[in-house]
Structure 1
Amino acid sequence: MTEKKIEVTAEQIAAYQQRGYPTDLLPKTKNKRNMSAKNYFTLWMGSVHNIPNYTAVGGFLLLGVSPMHVILALILSSIAVAAFMVYNGRAGSKYGIPFAMHLRSTYGNLGAKLPGFLRGCVAAIAWFGLQNYTGSLALLILIGKIWPGFLTLGGDLSFLGLSVPGFIAFTVFWAVNLLIGMGGGGTLNKFTAILNPLIYLVFGGMAIWAISVGGGISNILSFVPTGGVVQQNAPILVYLIIMNSVLAVWAAPGASVSDFTQNAKSTRDQAIGQTASFVIGYTIFAFSSVAILIGGSIHYGVQEWSVLDIVNKWDNLPAICLAMLVFLLTTISTNATGNIIPAGYQLAALFPKKMTYKKGVIIASVISYLIMPWKLMENAGSIFAFLNTIGAVLGPVAGVMLANFYFVKKQKINLNALYMGEQENHEQNPYSGVNKQAYIATVVALFISLSGQFLPALQIISSLSWFVGFGLAFGLYLLLKIPVLISGRTNIKEG
């Protein structure tokens, strides 16, 4: 994938700053676009190994999908996610613009507020709460192994549906994530180079252990859940449901991927790096997650679809501490960069006169606490309901963004018009106001893709919410833009 990369001049940057644009929203200059394919290769690999992902795999197995079909579906999903990230990231790598400006180029300077809210507030806050809860489970186990008496604090007393130890662990972990979010996550990112190898060392070791105690890889791949029937010939629909869940996991980072690709040396670098990162990362995850969950279940004689429960049964304290520490670090890292930081910036962007980034982080964190995210993982089906909702919310946004950039605007963005001043906010500016067609396509697709959550007869839509929302928004937007497509005029020049 090659292209003519648009580079801004110092004069352009100065002009945009005079118009009131903060540094975070400015297009990246050549000296700041220094992320290579290697950087993108290491960017996402560690994030694949998170607790909700393992919970989802456990759910697939519990539903009766054969281990081999789960593995193949996850690998296919990685290709779909990589394609989504690469193609939606091209606006960032070509023009050096962040997500907020990519949205503005699609929806207009006023219209960008709704999709920005959906990504930065609804999805980010919900994910932040869920990741905090799953991380607190790891913290609870870690503290309990070091201080067993902690697990008996409060007896049968509970707060908001959590035991006293669970409530304390969640509050402590939530507070740590809040503090890191307040700092912008910059310090934590410095540890990525150390964290990723540690992640693969730990989970690779866990997979080897699981294969050994589970009787070998053939025994794991032929495993049948107690009281269940494995679907040896999984229909295409099963594959699509699994792929929808995986795409929903990456719906938020995928929508705002320009925040990462704006720093790319070239589109080729981000394309090669991200593709390798997801395909290799998910291939390893597919085999390791299935092996760990099934091998642990065979070994302990109890079906355990939570990786934390398996680790909790170990009798090696140092191994438990290391595994839980990795889970905690991974959760903090992905939570900061993918959830609370975007939420803070988006709230500040929505209310620029009253809200700062740090105030946005505090408000988003408090909301994530009040929604009681532990309710999202009460049973094996809860995680799927959550993922389907996220897919329904952000699938339409992604569909409109890709349709607009590739088919309506022909990959052309006029930066001088995009970074408009107050006096330029008028009808002659193609990025001014609201792109009504984009809004109609997004809202219609959003309601339809959410319908499966409320109407039992449309349950299949809920199971394929990202695909439905993305496809409907993509097609409807192009249909509404037929006059522009026929004329072949975009009224946009590059630069």
Structure 2
Amino acid sequence: MQASKEEINMQEVDFFVNEEEIKDFKERGYNDDLLPKTADKRNMSSKNYFTLWMGSVHNIPNYTAVGGFLFLGLSPINVMLALIVSSLAVSAFMVYNGRAGSKYGIPFAMHLRSTYGDLGAKLPGFLRGCVAAIAWFGLQNYAGSLALLILIGKLWPGFLTLGGGFNFFGLSMPGLITFTIFWAINLLIGIGGGGALNKFTAILNPLIYIVFGGMAIWAVSVGGGIGNILSYVPTGAGVQHYTPFLAYFIIINSVLSVWAAPGASVSDFTQNATSTRAQTVGQTASLLVAYLIFAFSSVAILIGGSIHFGVQEWNVLNIVNKWDSVPAASIAVIVFLMTTVSTNATGNIIPAAYQLSALFPKSVDYKKGVIIASVISFLIMPWKLMENAGSIFAFLNIIGAVLGPVAGVMLAHYYFVKKQEIDLDALYMDTTADNSKNIYRGVNVEAYIATIAALVISVSGQFIPALQIISNLSWIVGSALAFGIYLLLKKAKK
């Protein structure tokens, strides 16, 4: 039955809880981090969302990924266009999956509960907020520490020889120092939460325009002009020749996979929106503008640097490290460090803290969650994980494949099963009472079946060579299959 225009308008109206309801939910055992945000706490405007994701785009792994895109057989201009199209796909995902948060003011943990049930939400929440987030947090810290090592080495060459033969489980003294420093910086930003992040990104974003714009201008100049950049053809054994249509989809899938984790838990950020319109306009503009800049700057810097130095170089840090100007190299590395911090906060440590708080609501609040997640990220020794590129990327690909189906089920459930309606009183159930008839109690079996079935299919390409194409499109395949399977199972149940 088609919804009337009046019903649709009602579904789009944001819902604000009052202090009496908050007090009632607290008495049921929920801490402040899990409670829906009241109107006075929803303080993120379109401007805040516009600045939120800028730093998350311009990070070291993303630049490295673009180097791989140039080997898919597309021209440089087509790689740029594919990145811009990808930004529209990502912004649609972030905006639509974030509407439950902006409408009701609820965090990801409760959004997940509304889809999978209070018990069912624990596994996908743990995979996204703990396993994936903590592992990525550690890996991003290590990647950032390598950039910090380059920076200090430029300013103080003797630092690189400190400690002599000192070895901490495979890490040298300079490496341990830079990792610990960068880890501590990320910890402090994480403890500061969204407020600290807003201030941090306000400083970072103008620097992104200045530094990456300047690097792109340098690359075009030393690369012989924009014509040389756009006509460049990579060579070597790694070059592949996909059809343009398929290559576009591979790039779109890769970019969506990068955003799979923050996109799944985007309600942790949209819960603070002044309105749904604010997060819609802000996130769309943020991602589109960020990727417009990134598409040109990444392709220009990588190709221009490769032409200038006479060697195909797809690690942007290696290009910066070859610069003769210490001040220029230092400024560029500092901005890369800042973008890594921004990415770590938005995509890793904040979701990890919220999920730990959701798993242990009576003993762990947000700040304790940040500290616990940070300590675990240090103890797993991420530099060890990166010693074997094959195993770590297999692990991260599997985690990413899980989050595609989770996103598909969440979208299908919210928009097509529940018609954008959540019963907050039932959602914030009193766990000490009889909840046998509560719609959010237990496990949403259909959601689990759809998630697992889509997961098995989306990762099959990693083990069956004939299905390699599915692996290349794992997020798209996984989310689409989970979306369709879930709706079919729900329809069959009626």
Normalising by structure 2, what TM-score?
Answer: 0.91
Shift of 1:349: 2.3
Where in structure 2 are the equivalents of 1:209-228 lying within 5 Å? 209-227=218-236
SS at 1:24 equivalent: coil
Residue equivalent to 1:340? 349
Partner Cα separation in structure 2 for residue 228 and residue 339 of structure 1: 35
CA distance in 2, matches of 1:458, 1:195: 42
Distance 1:332 1:187 in 2: 12
Alpha-carbon distance in 2 for matches of 1:97, 1:128: 24
Amino acid in structure 2 at the alignment position of 1:329: M
Select 2:423's aligned residue among 411, 414, 421: 414
Deviation at 1:335, TM superposition (A): 1.1
164-173 vs 304-313, which moves further:
164-173
Deviation at residue 425 of structure 1 after TM alignment: 4.8
> Which amino acid in structure 1 is aligned with residue 324 of structure 2?
D
1:456, distance to aligned residue in structure 2 (A): 3.5
One of 159, 162, 175 as aligned partner of 1:150: 159
Counterpart of 1:271 in structure 2 is 280
Change (3 A) 1:180 1:46: closer
Cα deviation for residue 366 of structure 1 reads 4.0
Alignment of 1:51-90 (within 5 A): 51-90=60-99
> Is residue 463 of structure 2 the alignment partner of residue 454 of structure 1?
yes
Mean Cα deviation higher: 347-356 or 333-342: 347-356
- Partners of 2:434 and 2:263 in 1: how far apart? 29
Structure 2 residue aligned with 1:490: none
For residues 395 and 215 of structure 2, what CA distance do their matches in structure 1 show?
Answer: 28
For residue 491 of structure 1, what is the aligned residue in structure 2? none
SS in 1 for 2:70: helix
| TM value normalised by structure 1 | 0.90
Partner Cα distance (1:155, 1:458) in 2: 49
- Which residue number in structure 2 is paired with residue 489 of structure 1? none
| 1:309 paired residue among 318, 338, 350 | 318
- Where structure 1 has 5 or more consecutive residues not aligned to the other structure, the ranges are 487-495
* Matched-pair contact (CA < 8 Å) for 1:388–1:464: no
Q: Which amino acid aligns with 1:324?
A: V
Counterpart code for 1:247: L
- Are the counterparts in 2 of residues 261 and 270 from structure 1 also a CA contact under 8 Å? yes
**C-alpha deviations, 1:399-421, integer Å up to 9, x for none?**
11001001111111111111111
Cα RMSD of the aligned pairs, angstroms, is 2.6
Shift, 1:233, TM fit: 7.7
Task: Tell me the CA shift for residue 67 of structure 1.
Answer: 1.3
How far residue 30 of structure 1 moved from its aligned partner, in angstroms, is 1.8
Whole-angstrom CA distance in 2 between matches of 1:72 and 1:309: 26
Distance 2:365 2:300 in 1: 46
Cα distance, 1:244 vs structure 2: 1.3
Q: What's the % identity of the aligned pairs?
A: 76
Residue 201 (structure 2) pairs with residue 208 (structure 1)? no
2:333 corresponds in structure 1 to 324
**Counterpart Cα distance in 1 of 2:339 and 2:434:** 43
Residue 269 of structure 2 is matched in structure 1 by 260
**What is the distance in 2 between the residues matched to 1:273 and 1:181?**
22
**Paired residue total:** 485
1:236 has 2:245 as partner: yes
Q: 1:94 to 1:15 in 2, by over 3 A?
A: same
- Counterpart position of 2:491: 482
CA shift digits 1:82-135 (9 cap, x unpaired): 000011011111111111111111011111111110110121012112211210
Higher mean displacement: 239-248 or 416-425:
416-425
**Pairing partner for 1:100 from 75, 95, 109:** 109
Counterparts of residues 395-414 of structure 1 (less than 5 Å): 395-414=404-423
Deviations 1:213-263 (Å, cap 9, x if unpaired)? 111111011112233697788432211211111111111110111111112
Structure 2: any 5+ residue segments left out of the alignment? 1-7
| d(CA) in 1 for partners of 2:212, 2:385 | 25
Rounded Cα–Cα distance in structure 1 between residues aligned with 2:180 and 2:128: 25
State the Cα distance separating 1:44 from its structure 2 match. 1.0
Q: How has the CA–CA distance of structure 1 residues 137 and 63 changed in structure 2, closer, same or farther, with 3 Å as cutoff?
A: farther
Q: Which residue of 2 aligns with 1:49?
A: 58
Distance 2:445 2:83 in 1: 37
Deviation at 1:359, TM superposition (A): 5.0
Q: Following the alignment from structure 1 to structure 2, what is the Cα–Cα distance between the partners of residues 89 and 348? A: 20
Per-residue CA distance 1:161-186 (angstroms, 9 max, x = gap): 44543343223322332344345464
CA positional deviation for 1:471: 1.5
8 Å Cα contact 2:33/2:357 also seen in 1: no
User: Contact conserved, 1:224 with 1:230, CA < 8 A, in 2?
Assistant: no
Deviation of the 1:138 alpha carbon: 0.9
2:72–2:240 CA contact under 8 A, matched in 1: no
Q: Could you say which residue in structure 1 is the equivalent of 2:179?
A: 170
**Residues of 2 paired with 1:396 and 1:129: CA distance?**
25
Which of the numbers 358, 363, 367 marks the counterpart of 1:349? 358
Instruction: Judge which range, 371-380 or 344-353, deviates more.
Output: 371-380
